[in-house]
Amino acid sequence: DGGITQSPKYLFRKEGQNVTLSCEQNLNHDAMYWYRQDPGQGLRLIYYSQIVNDFQKGDIAEGYSVSREKKESFPLTVTSAQKNPTAFYLCASSGTTNNEQFFGPGTRLTVL
């Protein structure tokens, strides 16, 4: 059963703590993406990766970091430098960047 998974579904963090969101895909896709979704603002691109061991900043990369050590995995770390991290985070993958994206179910992060 192919797909893209994200964990956890809900995450709570205290201010000043780093937290890592997991994203795994078994679709054999080369490209992976992280988006942030806030009400009324659509999807904003945080980071993307077109190939293993390479990734690029998106529109709102400040306060976030990623790694792409394996084709299947693209974890996102929300650091304490991110001033307003409470949001819904979506991971996606595609065969190449000009193909449609497949999205995970999302992680809702709340900073307490």
Contact 27, 2 (CB under 8 A): yes
Separation CA 87–CA 4 (nearest Å): 20
Contact call for residue 86 and another protein (CB under 8 A): no
Among 50, 65, 67, 86, binds another protein (CB under 8 A): 50
Full DSSP string of 29-48: -SEEEEEEE-TTS-EEEEEE
Cα 78 from chain centroid (whole Å): 10
Among 90, 93, 109, 111, binds another protein (CB under 8 A): 90
Please give the residues from 56 up to 75 whose contact with another protein meets the rule CB under 8 A: 58
Binding footprint of another protein on the chain (CB under 8 A):
4, 6, 35, 40-43, 45, 48, 50, 58, 88, 90, 92, 96-98, 100-106, 108
